[in-house]
A and B are shown apart, each in its own frame.
Chain A
């Protein structure tokens, strides 16, 4: 029986962090099934899905990664997945939409948008923001499969927020963005 762990690591960014962390996991015979990383404000954060031989514990993983020599201590979090869940069985939600927001920067935008999502049981799958010359841009991928309102109602709620907050908000099906940006025709 294998053990499946989800591990998150945050550290000051420098060349070689991913090699060091995955090297530490390899020493425990860990097999990286999935990895996602990003750098923000000079800090790197990564989240990994790793399969280990049975018997490997959360403490073993903490210890192995903590031994990596780095300028700053890693912040590590480890969760064990139930046996019934698999890394590669998280399909793209059927009703996945992209919410895009553009406008002047102001406080509380992410909170407001995510609150509307949360209130209507819309699950945020991915979210990215950028700020250029006081122009704020946010792109949110979300699933409305379990939403407690209709798409029309959701669009209306975002429109109202956009009007009040002087932001332009649009919500389009994810497939539209794939179709217009990917070579492969799905």
Chain B
């Protein structure tokens, strides 16, 4: 029998800290669904998703009940659709998005990712058609998420694709203007996009993956925040705790959290007969009170998120999470770091509102965590080239530092600094982030071509 203190520490995590499994995401390869016609391809896609994921949601719920830990989100990721629909035109890709949406609704998953292309070096005619289809695809579907990988450490940045991204994001926001540009919240631009990330909106089932696989996203930052609260409350006298002890607490808590994810993910995997992929250690906040990465900044000693010290705190948090999680799981993958999605984290959103967190500081913080400038609502009037240039800076951080970075920017139509936007649910709410130096990067974006891959020596 385990000792009662061990039992109680786990019970506290479940009971007081809202421990859950944030997502189980089933990756499905759709390459063999390609047919001569769009209609047949769509039918094949729907049939394959039904075959693999028909029992997915009930099984996740059953395992959640069995172990007493809920699986909050059940999702699907698919092979980047630009590959699946090779040779099709823009309208065909919109039809495929609708077929994916129908399949996702039919099997009961929350969301489906993989309406994607990988164009880090160059673009085919299909890629052009695919990218052109994204605004309509996102405007005409509910559960579909899109992403484009435009940069890698080995290939550099595709500057032509980069230039298209600003226009694409603006078009998505305008097509979904009646919902404050919500479509843009389902579109991410990546550098070094992983093929086994279970988190949305950037989940894809990479070409390197097997037929079908289950990837798990662990519980959120609330568990870490409560563990730190408890540790600090137990040592109230000044000087009783040092920074390394806080890091150790994060590490140990992450170990336990990761083990829960691994246990339930493998149980679902065994029950469905689908290969277990990875545990993604990312701390993904939600707008719910007490589930904020921003709160951890404050617990760890800065009175305002974005104040000097914030980047260092985030670096420690990100590192401690990895150290605890990697030992806990047989296979770790995906993004595996702390997310700082502004709209999805109530305290980060608040920091934008009170001016303590600006875009430049947010960008600096993305150097030491995953995943990038995430869920940032910006004025709808910001021009496409400025948006592309913001993305370029984020991509460069990823390229040079050999890490995943991404940008999910939402130019909210008709809104300016001083306004707020709310999408509700997991997508959250935030004030509009001020953007400085608007309209001053067009000559840079106009170059096109490629930013060459960086040298991997002389690291300074």
Contacts and interface: CB of A to CB of B under 8 A. Distances in A.
Interface in B186-223: none
Contacts of B65: 151-152
A172 B1 contact: no
Interface residues of A, number: 25
A176 B69 contact: yes
Contact of B67 (A139, A141, A168, A175): A175
A170 B2 contact: no
Interface string A160-186: 000000001011110111111100010
Interface in B404-445: none
A126 interface: yes
A172 B2 contact: no
A137 interface: yes
A128 interface: yes
Given A151-B66, A172-B67, A176-B68, A181 B8 contact: no
Contact of A177 (B7, B262, B330): B7
Given A151-B65, A151-B66, A128 B4 contact: yes
Contact of B260 (A100, A137, A168, A180): A180
Contacts of B37: none
B260 A171 contact: no
Contacts of B10: 172, 176-177, 180-181
B408 to A, nearest CB: 33
Interface string A124-154: 0110101000000101010000000001100
Nearest to B7: A139
A86 B32 CA distance: 55
Nearest to B255: A180
A24 interface: no
A61 interface: no
A180 B1 contact: no
B8 A171 contact: no
B130 to A, nearest CB: 41
B103 interface: no
Contacts of B9: 180-181
Contacts of A137: 4, 8
Contacts of A171: 68
Interface in B235-279: 255-256, 259-260, 262-263
Contacts of A176: 10, 67-69, 260, 263
A10 interface: no
B1 A185 contact: no
A185 B4 contact: no
Contacts of B4: 128, 130, 137, 139
B14 interface: yes
Contacts of A102: 8, 11
A151 B7 CA distance: 20
B13 interface: yes
B460 interface: no
Contacts of B329: 185
A153 to B, nearest CB: 12
A178 B4 CA distance: 12
B256 to A, nearest CB: 4
A168 B263 CA distance: 25
B381 interface: no
B259 A185 contact: yes
A25 interface: no
A141 B1 contact: yes
Interface string B320-349: 000000001110000000000000000000
B15 interface: yes
Given A137-B8, A177-B10, A128 B68 contact: no
A98 interface: yes
B263 A172 contact: no
A98 B69 CA distance: 14
A145 to B, nearest CB: 13
B330 A185 contact: yes
Given A128-B4, A172-B10, A180 B259 contact: yes
B263 A181 contact: no
A168 B15 contact: yes
Contact of A173 (B1, B66, B256): B66
5 contacts: A151-B65, A176-B10, A176-B260, A178-B2, A181-B10
Interface of A: 98, 100, 102, 125-126, 128, 130, 137, 139, 141, 151-152, 168, 170-173, 175-181, 185
